[in-house]
Structure 1
Amino acid sequence: MPRTATRDKPTTKPKFRRILCGTPNAANQLAALRQQFRTDSEVVSAKQKKATQAVFRAALTPVQVVERICTDVQKKGLPAVLHYTEQFDKVKLTADTIRVDPAEMAAAHAAADPEMLDTIRRIKMNIMSFQSGLLHSDAVMTVSGSHELQVRYRALKRIGVCVPGGAAAYPSTILMTVCPAQTAGVEEIALVMPPTPTGANNPDLLAVCHELGIKEVYRIGGAQAVAALAYGVEGVPRVQMIVGPGNQFVALAKRHVFGHVGIDCIAGPSEIVVVGDASSQPDYVAIDLIAQAEHSPGVSVLVTWHEPLLDEVTEALGRLLKTQPRGELARESLERYGALVLARDKDEAAKIVEEFAPEHLHIQTRDPEAFAEKIDSVGAVFLGPFTPVAIGDYAAGPSHVLPTGTTARFASGLTANDFLRRTSILSFTKNGLKEIAEDVVFMANKEGLAGHACSVNMRISDSSHVTPRPPKKAEKQKVAAGK
């Protein structure tokens, strides 16, 4: 989720795109709007685009920028990370200064506002209470005298967390990534934040890291940080998985390194679709659109079948934008990436939402539960007028790390289970092997894999009496029984 600096409140009258379904150009307009939800579309701020052009001396697409950065880090290691950090963040780091000293985090914690720490502790409890209830546990199916089948879960040992820090400090992202990982039992968590006053140089963020027991924090951000975590560089050991939101460059970098490491999902520029009807409160709808647009860029869309709501929300947007500190940024984002869509009926509205597969879906209708049942592809759903997305962003319990760029068609938001590896464990007796051998041999011969068939036949025809070692689970049970 890219961020830019706060600007003055808007002074010009905003111009919001309207799409009226059923009109001749509506299909093309909806297709163009859907394209903005795609990960490989260009959802970057003018400032970010200017910065990449200055560094590479060419007008590269975000995908091309990420490919260059990640390739350089993979080939050159830490020098490439330091180079891009200096180019983009205007901070010159060394191998000795890239990592935050744990003593600095402890000092930040000691000086932190007690109210902030109390808030962090309450939110931590909310998140971990919810996440612990989701955790998978080992499963066993035993057929006496024949075989035992198990599914075993083990936590990843080392993961990387990306925390944005371009214009605002986000302690919420630390909570929403670290707490699920700790719930799963991850031992090593390496956290990366840009070397900015709203990133790794922010005392509040360092205090939160200390509160959560994080000892490994690096002053790097962007695609170069993702590559450093994925490939490993001097002073930054590689991780098994990278999680966390970010701007389009971070999201694309995670996609680029997938395969070298696991990732949670493509969590890029923020998105919201608000669905409204005649019962919707226009001011609520407007402020929810603004709340995502102020990430700048962010995609904010209203879908309704109640035509008067378009004018009501437009008026509310113009009025409320003037009251917001980031109003100008939000206005620019709404004008460039937002839309007010009038569907012909409720079913068409549901079809439009399903095709967008948005990160956030806020349903502010008379019967939000019924409309939610029509939607499968979405990161998180917020029902009713008193469930703003902000509660999910900050405190409720589910992680705010959610799929963007239409990837909610197949991906889901981050949970503690994403940090678990699942392993099948099989244990057969000779009698059990004999019972299943015919089917195994048939399939092996059908596929022309004689060695597979032989590996079974050799065992069932062996007349020796080999006593297999009992499964570990049985051993543990015996030990426990003997205590």
Structure 2
Amino acid sequence: MSAKDVERTFAREPQIPYEVMESVKKIVEDVKVRGDKAVLDYTFKFDGIELKPEALVVRRDEMQVVFKAMPPDIANALLKAAENIKKFQEKQLPQNWELEVEPGVFIGQVYRGLGRVGVYVPGGRAGYPSTMLMAVIPAKVAGVEEVIVCTPPLKDGTINPYVLAAAYVAGADVVFKVGGAQAIAAMAFGTETIPKVDKIVGPGNIYVTAAKVLVSDKVAIDMPAGPSEVVVLADEKADLKLVALDLVAQAEHDPMSFVAAIVTSMSMAEALNKEIAEIAKSCEKADIVNSALNNGAIFVVSDVRQGVEVVNCLAPEHLELMCEDADQLVKQVKNAGTVFIGEYSPVALGDYAAGSNHILPTGGYAKVYSALSVRDFIKSIEYVKCTKEGLSKLASTVLSLAKVEGFPNHAKSVEERLKR
């Protein structure tokens, strides 16, 4: 099977069924028209919780109380993870610049944070404090003026305390107890309680993804989202037990997760298959793991270079390089969300502690999208600053092109200045 055959066979672009899109469209339109009332109705319908508008809001003083009640190991873990995420994001901040292209003609760019951003942090199978950190911290580092968060409430009407503690550490301005498509619609259009935002980011289930697609003509969104995935490229020197453990670890995210290994011999494939089966039969969350493993594959290639060709076609969310000369091999990787280099760099390290972002493109979108970062929360403003001398040097260029394009008044706006 060629790399292109792999790409066709394992196409993973997120597909939203028509019936899902239609049901979500009704929710989005209802929230747009009825605001808080619709949000509260859907919260009762889908989450079984009856709330009043004022009960939706969790402010920073409440977040702080929850954080201070955290066990020391959890509090320290949140602080350490946040510290590393912040360092990584600060390193990516672009710098303002200016260039003199001709004597007296200056051009440049300045960068500004967005005004208000909405972050969606999923609930459902579990609470995800790490996702709160990964989504909010880049926005704060970018200089976003206000960061609001929507996340589903628990059955008792509260928010998962670890998620709320993470919101405090990350610097979220306010958290709303709203999940699902209704949360996306509320942030896109605004309600009496939830303010309209300039951009919505964060992962979610197929209903959240559908809602983001539906409102994307009204508000900016980050990227299409699908089930989590990992590809491990391993050679004969790789520890197959570690490869198997990392595949199983990714598989526990979701029954629809995509997990795959690329190995350099049939004997490796057979041995790896046995390791996976051994771990999967007795691991926790075995039902989810085994469902995901059924979606996976083991590819056999002639060498690691051919393996990289397969990787670049798959464009995985996570890529592990567990092979010799991995530091050199990574230079050939064109398409991946995050690359984990060497056997001591498991995906779990990036998920929680290293500082890299785990909100990543899935479904092959790593060919055109990147990890969530400060760049998603800033815009650049270009400027032009010119002296009379500089204008005179470029006047002939302006006049010639204005004439070609049929804009005589453009030309006059330059000519008049040069007469003064």
Q: TM-score, normalised by structure 1?
A: 0.81
Which residue among 374, 377, 387 is the counterpart of 2:335? Answer: 377
Matches within 5 A, 1:137-152: 137-142=95-100, 146-152=104-110
SS in 1 for 2:226: coil
Structure 1 segment 35-434 matched on structure 2, within 5 A? 37-40=12-15, 60-142=18-100, 146-196=104-154, 201-296=159-254, 297-335=256-294, 337-434=295-392
- Contact (CA 8 Å) 2:129, 2:162: kept in 1 or not? yes
For 1:277 and 1:61, the matched residues in 2 are separated by 44
Look up the match of 1:473: none
Secondary structure of the residue aligned to 1:324 is: coil
**What is the CA–CA distance in structure 2 between the aligned matches of 1:422 and 1:29, rounded to whole Å?**
39
Structure 2 distance, partners of 1:399, 1:273, is 17
Structural RMSD (CA): 2.4
Distance in 2, matches of 1:287 and 1:239, equals 40
* Aligned partner of residue 200 in structure 2, secondary structure: strand
Give yes or no for contact 2:82–2:169 (8 Å, CA) kept in 1.
no
CA contact (8 A) 1:148 1:426 kept: yes
| 8 Å contact kept, 1:226–1:253 | yes
Structure 1: which 4+ aligned runs deviate by more than 6 Å?
26-29
Distance, in Å, in 1 between the alignment partners of 2:152 and 2:35 is 18
Distance 1:272 1:62, change over 3 A: farther
1:197 is displaced (CA, Å) by: 6.0
Given that residues 153 and 159 in structure 2 are in contact (C-alpha distance below 8 angstroms), is that contact kept between their aligned partners in structure 1?
yes
Q: d(CA) in 2 for partners of 1:27 and 1:458?
A: 59
SS of structure 2 residue aligned to 1:401: coil
**Stretch moving more, 319-328 or 189-198:** 189-198
SS at 2:54 equivalent: coil
Name the aligned partner's letter for residue 451 of structure 1.
N
Letter in 1 for 2:13: R
CA deviation after TM superposition for structure 1 residue 102, in Å: 4.5
Whole-Å separation in 2 of the counterparts to 1:180 and 1:444: 42
Q: Which runs of 5+ in 2 are unaligned?
A: none
Distance 2:154 2:107 in 1: 51
**CA distance in 2 between partners of 1:142 and 1:199 (Å):** 58
What letter corresponds to residue 358 of structure 1 in structure 2?
A: P
Residues 373 and 198 from structure 1, CA distance in 2 versus in 1: closer, same or farther, beyond 3 angstroms?
farther
- Call closer, same or farther: CA 1:196–1:347 in 2, change over 3 Å: same
Deviation at 1:196, TM superposition (A): 2.1
Q: Per the alignment, in what secondary structure is the counterpart of residue 389 of structure 2?
A: helix
Q: How far apart, CA to CA, are the structure 2 residues paired with 1:199 and 1:127?
A: 30
Unaligned runs of 5+ in 1: 1-20, 43-59, 464-483
**Which amino acid in structure 2 is aligned with residue 318 of structure 1?**
A
| Structure 2 CA distance for aligned equivalents of residues 199 and 263 of structure 1 | 28
Q: 1:231 to 1:430 in 2, by over 3 A?
A: same
**Change over 3 Å in CA distance of 1:122–1:345 after alignment to 2:** closer
- State percent identity of aligned pairs: 36
Q: Matches of 1:194 and 1:28 in 2, distance apart?
A: 40
Partner Cα distance (2:314, 2:26) in 1: 30
One-letter code aligned to 2:375: N
1:275 is paired with a residue of what secondary structure?
Answer: strand
Tell me the secondary structure at the aligned position of residue 209 of structure 1: helix
How far apart are residue 428 of structure 1 and its match? Answer: 1.2
* Deviation for aligned residue 1:218: 0.7
Partner of 2:417: 459
Tell me, what secondary structure is at the counterpart of 2:339? strand
